[in-house]
Amino acid sequence: MKKSHIIIFLLVTLILAGCVYASNDTNDFKVSANKNTVKMGDTITFKATKNVNDSSPVVFKVNDKTIINSNNVSKVKPVNNKASVKYKVPDGTRSGKVKVTAVTTINKSRVETNTYYNVEKMGTKITNVNVYRNLDTINITATIKDEHNHKLKGSTKISVKVNGKTLTKGNKALYFKSNNGVFNASFKLSNNVLNKKVSLTLISSTTGAYKSSKYTINNLQKTAKEITRTKINFKDITLARNRNELTINAKIVDLKNKSISDADKISVKINGNTYKENNQTKYYYPNSNGVLTVKIKVYKSLSTKTFNITLISGDTYKYYSKKQNIVTAYTNVTRINVNREVNVNYTDIKIPLKVLADDQKAVTDGNIKVYVNNKFYSDIKCNQSTSYIRLNNLTCGKYTVKLVYSSSNYNGSSNTVQLSVSRIYKTRKTMVAATFVKCYSKINEDDLKKWLDAGITDVFVQAKQIENETTNLRYVIDLCKNTNIKVHAWIIVFRETTKWDYSVAQQNRIKNFISQVIQIDGVEGVSLDYVRYSGANPSTVNVSMITNFVKDVHNILKNYDKHLELSASVFAEGSATKTYYGQDYVQLSKHLEFIMPMEYRYTYHKGTEWMTEITKYVKDRSSYAKVVPVIAAAKDYDAKNKLTADELRKDIQALLAGGAYGYVLFQHKTVLEYPKIF
């Protein structure tokens, strides 16, 4: 096949595939502008029209740059096959022909079309002219604005005519520059010129965007303000070195101690050498209050302990030049030695540290400012015996602590610590021996004594989300604070009232409540109850919903504090528990410390052999969680026939024979007498 045939074949293939851009003179898509000629600052409307029924969005471009509309959107959706966008011509836009492009798709093919408009140059004016004279030196300040009273964008050349003749330097015209519309220039005139009436004319040059303008001062001698040059000083000088940066702060004042903000640019010499960045002299300027801040990068070539620094201000029509030498007082380089990660208990939050000079000796003075999560926390005096800082009133969680050292005798330094704060957790010395306590059950010192005598290790106290009730939980925590009894929050999940509620909203309410409860000082775990379906209609059961909810709660606890324990009460009906109630022993055990089958043998009319069997059944399927069954403390719901300690002991022994890791009694007010098991 010939080369020409190959090219024709490829073009035909692309056209058939719909991949070739439509030409600009397509009849299906056109773009127009409502103005042919504009100036910067004007608003122009571009309208794109489709002659076919197509709702694909349109993108407008000016000189190939996409237009973003006032809603920060680049694509415009057509209405009745028409799309439009308003465009404000930016300040500084060069004059000339401007291309407008509209891009869209029609029948899945990319289509673009162009139109054009013209930008005229903007007229300018020179305003706010001030003239100062100091003997033979003339200084002029001015502002150059456009027709909209905006300062000119970019750099503009300015020439000056004296009595009709352009100022020159040698044989060439002398040009000054304005920067973004601000003009400041100084020049000298001979006494021969100044002895006569002098007229000055400022002429701004024509640019690609702006027209020329001029401003004439007819009588320099009458217009100029006489200025007497004065000396300046640097005062209140402070220095600080932080790792690889040296910071110098100073105030620039005149002989009357008045702050000066319009001093000339200031350069710095270090050990006799002009300071440069990127091979160029670095200049600094005071702010509006006359305060000068100089930041110097300390390279290896400057890594000495003592610096000879010279601040140099240039000579101007108002101020004489000034040189001032500084010898740094910082003969010691310090650092804060601290572990980057610190784990502490919330009752005693201490961060060990050492502040050392370069001779490895502890510093003798100074202050350490402490910032916690970017907020100032405290200011600590530092001395040779400083070996730690203590933080109070921090709850459990993760914090970023920044330590900033400063001193008049040492350079500054800083360091950052990632602090993890956790609470004290009690340690069980036996398997679990526990009881449930209802929300409004009154507990006292006598009850605590019964628990201690019986070797109770854990108490599950009800907290109600629907009432935001945690009073009894907090009371029991306080009651048990000087014992080894762990207190858990017992929370009803899907049946807080007489009605079942499995909704996402209910799940979120419970999870939010749990997030609050675990922040209560002394809560060591959460026990979920009614985290199941009612059992009335197995066709509606969603096992994954139950498992995922428990998983979410597990993540809430562990993200707050990995030591918090999660338990859940489950039905003790073997395989039917998953079918009717949505509780999967295998999956739930992955997210629990304790899985607690409710082995109410009197409700099921079973003997102790059944308790052993069902405990073993659950244990065989709970690879990750320990099995701690819940047993009734009474034979009936009304608790008229309470079990004796010997009867309870017999039931508990049956649990242990099946591999249980302890027991939980339901519930405290129905317990006639606690058995001592462990």
Which CATH number do you get for residue 116?
2.60.40.1930
Give the structural domain span for 74. 22-120
Same domain, 545 and 640: yes
Take residue 553 and report the two structure tokens written for it. 């709660």
Can you tell me the mean pLDDT for 486-504?
Answer: 96
* 574/529 Cα distance (integer angstroms): 18
Q: pLDDT class for 55, splitting at 50, 70, 90? A: confident
Instruction: Write down which residue in 327, 350, 374 finishes a domain.
Output: 327
382 and 460: one domain?
no
**CATH number of the CATH domain containing 141:** 2.60.40.10
Q: Euclidean distance between the first and final Cα of the chain, in Å?
A: 96
Shortest CA distance to 368 belongs to which of 329, 416, 414? 414
Q: What is the average pLDDT across 183-204?
A: 87
Residues 520 and 654 placed together within one structural domain of the fold: yes
For residue 344, the one-letter residue type is V
Which of 422, 447, 462 lies at the terminal end of a domain, its last residue? Answer: 422
Residue 362 lies in a domain: yes
Confidence of residue 273 (pLDDT cuts 50, 70, 90): confident
pLDDT at position 347 is: 64
Q: Are residue 576 and residue 648 in the same domain, yes or no?
A: yes
Mean pLDDT, rounded, of the chain: 87
- Over residues 498-528, the pLDDT tens digits come to 999 999 999 999 999 999 999 898 999 999 9
Q: Cis bond leading into 516, ω under 30°?
A: no
Q: Within this chain, do residues 220 and 114 fall inside the same structural domain, yes or no? A: no
CA dist., res. 613 & res. 629, Å (int): 12
The answer to the question of residue 676 being in a domain is: no
Please give the structure tokens belonging to residue 609: 């052999």
Distance, CA of 144 to CA of 165 (rounded, Å): 22
- Supply the DSSP symbol for 376: E
Q: Is residue 507 in some structural domain?
A: yes
Contact 253, 233 (CB under 8 A): yes
Are 600 and 461 members of one domain?
Answer: yes
The answer to whether position 3 is within a domain reads no
Name the domain count of the chain. 5
Question: Same structural domain for residues 533 and 388?
Answer: no
Domain boundary among 398, 422, 446: 422
What pLDDT does residue 405 have? 87
> What's the whole-number mean pLDDT along residues 647-660?
97
* Contact residues for 479 (Cβ-Cβ < 8 A; gap 6+): 443, 445, 448
Whether the CB-CB separation of 229 and 320 falls below 8 Å is answered with: yes
Kindly indicate the confidence band of residue 586, based on its pLDDT and cuts at 50, 70 and 90: very high
pLDDT score of 241: 62
* Least confident range of 265-269, 553-557, 571-575: 265-269
What residues contact residue 360 under an 8 Å CB cut-off, 6+ apart?
none
Per-residue pLDDT averaged across 529-534, rounded?
Answer: 97
Is the domain of 531 the same as that of 657? yes
- Of residues 48 and 335, the one with the higher pLDDT is 48
What residues form DSSP beta bridges with 233? 253
Lowest mean pLDDT among 109-118, 358-367, 466-475: 358-367
Q: What average pLDDT does range 41-63 have in this prediction?
A: 91
* 622 and 504 share one domain: yes
With a cut of 70, say whether residue 379 has pLDDT above it. Answer: yes
189 falls within a domain: yes
- Strand stretches in 22-154, DSSP E: 29-33, 37-39, 43-50, 58-62, 65-66, 75-76, 82-88, 96-106, 109-120, 124-134, 137-146
pTM confidence score:
0.47
Mark whether 190 and 65 lie in a shared domain: no
Cα-Cα-Cα-Cα dihedral of 576, 582, 587, 593, to 10°?
Answer: -100
In a domain, 677, yes or no: no
- Which DSSP letter does residue 140 get? E
pLDDT at 21: 38
Phi, psi of 463 (to 5 degrees): -125, 130
Let me know whether 301 and 393 are in one domain.
no
Q: What is the CA radius of gyration of the chain?
A: 42
In a domain, 348, yes or no: yes
With cut-offs at 50, 70 and 90, classify the pLDDT of residue 616. Answer: very high
Q: Are residues 287 and 300 in the same domain?
A: yes
